[in-house]
A and B are shown apart, each in its own frame.
Chain A
Amino acid sequence: MASVPHSTDSAPPEDLPFPAGPLRGLAKVTLAIAAAALGLLALVEAWQVFARYVLDAPAGWTEPVALLLLKITLLAGAAVGVRHETHFRFALGVQAAGPKWGRRLRAAGLLAAGAIGLVFAGWGASLMIAAWPVKAAGAQLSSGLYYLPFVAGGALFALFALERVLYRSGD
């Protein structure tokens, strides 16, 4: 029976186990960063309500900061998803392929994720440099910062994918 390790609407396994491997610590730190960004996102949005109703001074900086935090949660959480292999996938093909080809297909999927990560990191870096002098509307933030999660997240995609491929083949 095919299965998806993760769902739309989903809660990951109770203990959120981190697979063993040399980058386990990095994955834990990455997810902690994603969780911290999510917590800050809630606070920033709540501050927006507080500033409007209690301080009577709507805060203009909240939206650009919230979008930056959203991107950090997105890329950091997604990078850990690459390592945990919990991204939505159509698993029937891999399961029908049998154990040997199934392993190869899984490795190919990881390498594809790693390659896309490198694209994000490479082109993200050039876009970040190009956009750095431009200020984001509403906050004293560089527009280039919005590409930083893609640079860091893309590099993590590549690292985690490579680790899973090498670690699996070494099992």
Chain B
Amino acid sequence: MTLAVLFGVFTLLLVLGVPVAISLTAAALATLWYLGLPPDVLVIETSAGSDSTTLIAIPLFIFAGQLMLHGGISERLIALASSLVGHVRGGLGQVNVLSCLLFGGVSGSAIADVSAIGGALIPQMVQRGYDRDYAVNVTIAAALVALLVPPSHNLILYSAAAGGGISIADLFAAGIVPALLLMASVMVTAYVVARRRGYGTAAFPGARAVAVRLVAALPGLLLVFVIFGGIRAGVFTAVESAAVAVLYALAVTTLVYRRLAWAEFRTACLHAAHTAGIILFVISAAATFGWLLAYLRVPEEVVAAIRAVAEGPLTILMLMNVVLLVLGTFMDMAPLIIICTPIFLPVATAFGVSPLQFGVILILNAGIGLITPPVGSVLFVGTAIGRISIAQAMRTIWPFYLAGFAVLILVTYFPALSLWLPAAFR
């Protein structure tokens, strides 16, 4: 009955359109009352939910990403990508994918990727004769790469949702090979679709042009090495690396690129604070809900129930993939990570799955949800930039879904893809 109160109130409020964080808090409050526990547990646990120092990295990486977004780095990364792969058939599609990887490496955000890269490249692609649906679908599929590469704040969110015991440096390393696989998979798909549609090629600008553009993009690109190298070398913690990323982004965008004037700085600060507040509130609000799940021994019950119907980690992971994909189409990324991690991670680890591999699988599933209706924020931004309806995008997106699913299956069946690099770095 207690579980019915917890999940019943939560589901009811969610369906009625009450914000996820408020639904979590209200369901927890109702359950505390039902159990006769003091209601101030709600404030104590919600406050404790924001007491983890790991969480500090999330707003700081969001802040650094906003500074990069408003500070003119995307143009330089696009120029570099264009000189590297622009001459391949359907070249702007390839430029788009590579630019998303490069920008993802400095922003760690799929929405920032689709806003910055899509905002610049989708109109160019349309102007040069590419179909709008192709331009949008390539961009939104490629933007998902940002979720898996450092400094992805969603990987940090997963670490926090898992109780903070999973090394962020290991998670960053675990996402790199799957991210490169996803990039390659989207590039091949973009190439095949471009051939079928008869898109043209452009001339290779020459090694000198590549070198010049590389030098121009280098200060921004170095950020990923500062973050990843700094953490790996033990120079600073993940949280400190996020602060260094903010100062580095500020220095590059103001002193080197000279694009971040006061107005852009102010906008970046306000957007970052707003976004950070909303994401942190879901995390914090989920704390009492998570505390009640543990108090009611829900993860143990779920493990026992799944043990009764399935055997072997691969069956479990495939089952979880199906559930997460379905949930991902309806829920946004942060709530999905926050709500599903405490329930599914104990199940995965009980079957011998590494928390690193599960984290990558969770992020990939939730990422595919970001480009799938009815709730897909990356899809919404991409179609808004490309000025097409969601139905238009959906009609021709299926090769890109296949590319994403192929990577998801590979990562699920081959743990080494996400575990090899963290082990190699240790």
Hey, which bits of chain A sit against chain B, CB under 8 A?
A: 1-4, 6-12, 14-16, 31-32, 34-35, 37-39, 41-46, 48-49, 63, 66-67, 70-71, 73-81, 84, 86-94, 105-106, 108-109, 112-113, 115-116, 119-120, 123-124, 126-127, 146-147, 150
Contact = CB atoms under 8 A, between A and B. Distances in A.
A49 B40 contact: no
Contacts of B60: 38, 41-42, 45
Nearest to B243: A45
Contacts of A9: 109-112, 146-147, 153-154, 333-334, 370, 377-378
B19 A87 contact: yes
A2 B239 contact: no
B335 interface: yes
Contact of B246 (A42, A66, A73, A84): A42
B277 A112 contact: no
Given A10-B377, A88-B278, A112-B23, 5 more contacts: A46-B244, A81-B277, A87-B20, A91-B375, A147-B47
Q: Give the interface centre of A2, A89, A105, A124 by most chain B CB atoms within 10 Å.
A: A89
A54 to B, nearest CB: 13
B247 A42 contact: yes
B373 interface: yes
Q: Give the interface centre of B63, B157, B373 by most chain A CB atoms within 10 Å.
A: B63
Interface stretch (B263-271, B304-312, B342-350): B263-271
Q: Give the interface centre of A3, A7, A105, A109 by most chain B CB atoms within 10 Å.
A: A7
B56 interface: yes
A8 B108 CA distance: 12
24 contacts: A3-B380, A9-B370, A10-B111, A11-B69, A11-B109, A12-B271, A34-B274, A38-B63, A39-B269, A74-B277, A77-B275, A77-B278, A77-B281, A78-B280, A86-B274, A87-B21, A88-B335, A92-B330, A93-B15, A109-B16, A115-B26, A116-B29, A119-B29, A123-B39
Given A8-B377, A49-B244, A70-B50, A88 B276 contact: no
B43 A35 contact: no
Contact of A73 (B59, B110, B112, B330): B59
Give 6 closest A-B pairs by Cβ, nearest first. A77-B277, A45-B243, A7-B377, A8-B333, A87-B19, A94-B17
Interface in B229-272: 236, 239-240, 242-244, 246-247, 267, 269-272
Given A46-B244, A73-B273, A77-B281, A88 B55 contact: no
Contacts of B53: 63, 66-67
Contacts of A38: 59-60, 63, 269, 272-273, 276
A16 B153 contact: no
Nearest to A13: B271
Nearest to A18: B270
Contacts of A123: 39-40, 42-43
A77 B276 contact: yes
B180 interface: no
A106 B17 CA distance: 7
Contact of A6 (B18, B246, B278, B378): B278
Contacts of B69: 11
A16 B266 CA distance: 11
Interface in B102-156: 109-112, 115, 146-147, 153-154
Contact of B274 (A2, A3, A31): A31
A35 B272 contact: yes
B331 interface: yes
Given A10-B111, A88-B20, A112-B26, A74 B370 contact: no
B25 interface: yes
Interface string B334-359: 11010000000000000000000000
A150 B17 contact: no
A119 B276 CA distance: 22
Given A49-B236, A73-B276, A108-B16, A1 B242 contact: no
A84 B59 CA distance: 19
A89 B15 contact: no
A31 B110 CA distance: 24
Contact of B281 (A44, A45, A87): A87
A147 B377 contact: no
Contacts of A80: 274, 277
Contacts of A78: 21, 277-278, 280-281
Contacts of A120: 43, 46
A117 to B, nearest CB: 9
A70 B109 contact: no
B159 interface: no
B66 interface: yes
Nearest to B57: A45
Q: Give the interface centre of A10, A77, A84 by most chain B CB atoms within 10 Å.
A: A10
A86 to B, nearest CB: 6
A116 to B, nearest CB: 5
Q: Give the interface centre of A11, A63, A81, A126 by most chain B CB atoms within 10 Å.
A: A11
Contacts of B18: 89, 108-109, 112-113
A62 to B, nearest CB: 10
A71 B240 contact: no
Contact of B17 (A48, A86, A89): A89
